[in-house]
Structure 1
Amino acid sequence: MVRYSRSIGVPAPLPDVLGLAIRTSTPGEPADILLASTGRGVPTRFLLVPHTAAGSAWFSTILPYRGSRGPVLIAARTMGPRHLPSGRAELARAVSLEPWTLQLLHATPGGLWHPFATLTLRRTRDMPLDTGLRFDPILRPLQGSTLYPWTRRLREPSYARAQQRSSARADSRGGRRRRP
């Protein structure tokens, strides 16, 4: 399951910080990975970078996970198709016609990126654009990794605010917030 977002909220086709939230199926519990459009190299991999098209964006975690060998970042880059719009509805239409293929990579904070998986995103026309599902890497960390205490302290307030906004929107529509 993947959720795509425009983080700042400016209308497409204006540049925005793009986000990808990925829920992986792992033995035991699912895990959530949150990626935002960033630069690729050092130091730009730690900076948010607005984009006008999802297909040209480089997405990464910005803040490292604590892996068995030390800090690790995760990234995703488009393998195809290259010409994807940045608007949510437009991207959903494009992915219903042709799957969006992403290469997943990992790196140490100052190291080279190494591919480790391919993610293919497909959407059928009857799938809702927003399921109400929310992602939280603090509650659902990657198997074999933990969060550094300092990254947890940085992330917790923004995730709590995002969950509150999500609940408020669901309540204003007369709906109930789904449990993740």
Structure 2
Amino acid sequence: MAAGFPQRMQKDYRDAIDALFDANRFGQKNGLGFWRYKDDSKGKPKKEEDAAVDSLLADVSQSKRDFSDEEIIARMMIPMVNEVVRCLEEGIIASPAEADMALVYGLGFPPFHGGAFRWLDTIGSAKYLDMAQQYQHLGPLYEVPAGLRDKARHNEAYYPQVEPARPVGALKTA
């Protein structure tokens, strides 16, 4: 990805993924990654802590700190939402629904959120913009595309807003 999108994906530093890759720790594929994987009695990989990881990551780690669930979600969602919005703007995908279905069925995005565009419409583009601005210092992945900034400015959604159905009691029966 870095070669295809150097303006957003290129990094000029060594990170945890680089350190693990260089140490031939490929995750479940070879039983070593951030965790050590061993098969349980049913043959499914079970992760166990591996003390060797701390020393492997020492030169690429900043000081340890706790992250809130909200911060973890934001740091994962913002780059994904920004990229899927770019895909729509560049005509790579035809509609928000197409992207959302691909994310739910192909990537395992939580179905109850409906996909990245539905999630974005649920929280609102203005709130999303505020959230993303907190992380822009992390690099170009966190820069919100112009089209999304315009939607936030005009309070527009990606999906049409549908009026709620009338209550059942309001329906006339014959």
Q: Normalized against structure 1, the TM-score is what?
A: 0.25
- Larger relative contact order (C-alpha < 8 A, sep ≥ 6)? 1
Between Structure 1 and Structure 2, the one with more helix by share is 2
Q: Normalized against structure 2, the TM-score is what?
A: 0.26
